[in-house]
Amino acid sequence: MDGFTKKYGLHRLVYFEDTCSIESAISREKQLKKWNRAWKIELIESINPDWLDLSEENNGNGSPRSRG
């Protein structure tokens, strides 16, 4: 079974958040899914205005924004 990134042809990680639990991650994901596209773009650009690939930049060493 193909995953989300392959299905949609995604190649860059431009935004992510660290959470302290799976429950808080799921809650935040549900919250963001309700946002419109413009709000999501504004969130991304507030942290990563050049839309850099954060998977290469951070190599798992922290997040541009952490949430509890």
Q: What is the average per-residue pLDDT within 52-66?
A: 66
Cut 0.75: pTM above it: no
Q: Which pLDDT score, from 0 to 100, does residue 68 have? A: 47
Tokens standing for 18?
């660290």
pLDDT of 42 higher than 70: yes
Q: What is the average per-residue pLDDT within 26-44?
A: 98
Q: Which pLDDT score, from 0 to 100, does residue 4 have? A: 83
Q: What is the average per-residue pLDDT within 3-26?
A: 92
Question: Domain limits of the chain?
Answer: 21-59
CB 10 within 8 A of CB 54: no
Among residues 48, 50, 57, 42, the alpha carbon closest in space to that of 15 is found at 48
CB 48 within 8 A of CB 64: yes
pLDDT of 5 higher than 70: yes
